[in-house]
Amino acid sequence: MIASTKRRTIGFDRKIKLDWMDATADWAAQGLAVADIRERLEQLLEGKVAGVGPHSARGKSMTVLLHIWVLVPETLVPLRDDGLALLRGRSGRDRLPLHWGMCMATYPFFRDVAATTGRLLALQGTAALSQVVRRMTESWGERSTLIRAVQRVVRSFVEWGVLVETDERGIFSPVPKVRVTEEFGPWLLEAGISNCARQARPFRSLVGAASFFPLKLKLSPRDVGSSPRLEVYRQGLDEDVVMLKEQR
């Protein structure tokens, strides 16, 4: 069944580098004011991304970065704060699962591109950019901005080292998955169902979700008990379901 093509905001339409997200998250963890973070991002991106002002390429890249770790929706503030706490003391590739989780939680478009890519990789071992674009067009509606956004998200995947382009241009293959520790696991599951229409998912399908394609999650339903905002209940004889607790 083809999903609804009701027009939704794409948002994540830039090629983003991991060190830019690292810097943005570090400044947010330090408690800097939004204006200060904006100023530092301007300096960081100067000479790397062209343009001046909010509607330029640099301004749009800053908007994406701020939305991931700083100006998050109110409902995601607890998730973001816990993510910043988990980032402390970690560097490099150890931070990738946390950046990935916040991108999924704050940008449904990013999550859908990741899921589409993950399903293609699982099905055929590679993912063609043209296939990702076609499937995203079916669910998000046909528009020129979508094609460019998909290209930039997939190129971000390459930039982050979770995909490599094969000898055939536009065809991508995966790299070894990043192992996610039990400490990160419950947080990632929460990120995986936050900002979704369905905020209750079978545990096994959530842990193995295609949107987590670069990550290897090793955890049990019991591990979810460490999360302050998730709960697990048994459905039927042998299926555990994860859901977000009602926030009061």
pLDDT at 205 over 80: yes
Tell me if 187 sits within 8 A of 82, measured CB to CB: yes
Strand-by-strand arrangement of the 171-174 sheet: 127-128, 171-174, 163-165
Gap between the Cα atoms of 225 and 219, Å rounded: 11
Residue 240's pLDDT is: 87
98-114 pLDDT tens trace: 999 999 999 999 999 99
**Hunting for tokens 């990550």 — which residue is that?**
215
Tell me if 223 sits within 8 A of 231, measured CB to CB: no
Residue 20's pLDDT is: 97
Of the CA atoms within 13 Å of residue 22, those in its CB half-sphere come to 12
Gap between the Cα atoms of 192 and 183, Å rounded: 15
pLDDT at 246 over 80: no
Task: Write the DSSP symbol of residue 171.
Answer: E
Tell me if 29 sits within 8 A of 21, measured CB to CB: no
Residues ≥6 apart with Cβ < 8 Å to 83: 25, 69, 98, 101, 102, 187, 191
Residue 3's pLDDT is: 42
User: Bridge partners of 88?
Assistant: none
Average pLDDT of every residue of the chain: 90
Gap between the Cα atoms of 60 and 175, Å rounded: 29
Helix (H) / strand (E) element for 194: namely: none
Of 44, 36, 75, 77, nearest in space to 61 by CA: 44
Residue 40's pLDDT is: 97
pLDDT at 245 over 90: no
Residue 4's pLDDT is: 43
Residue 197's pLDDT is: 65
**What average pLDDT score do residues 196-212 get?**
85
133-168 pLDDT tens trace: 999 999 998 888 999 999 999 999 999 999 999 999
27-43 pLDDT tens trace: 999 999 999 999 999 99
pTM recorded for the entire structure: 0.92
Gap between the Cα atoms of 237 and 220, Å rounded: 17
Residue 247's pLDDT is: 61
Tokens of 112: 């859908």
Look up residue 170 and give its amino acid: G
**What average pLDDT score do residues 179-194 get?**
89
**What average pLDDT score do residues 67-86 get?**
95
The H-assigned helical ranges of the chain are: 18-29, 34-45, 57-69, 77-87, 96-106, 108-124, 129-140, 144-159, 185-193, 203-207
Torsion of CA 200, 8, 155, 219, to 10 degrees: -10
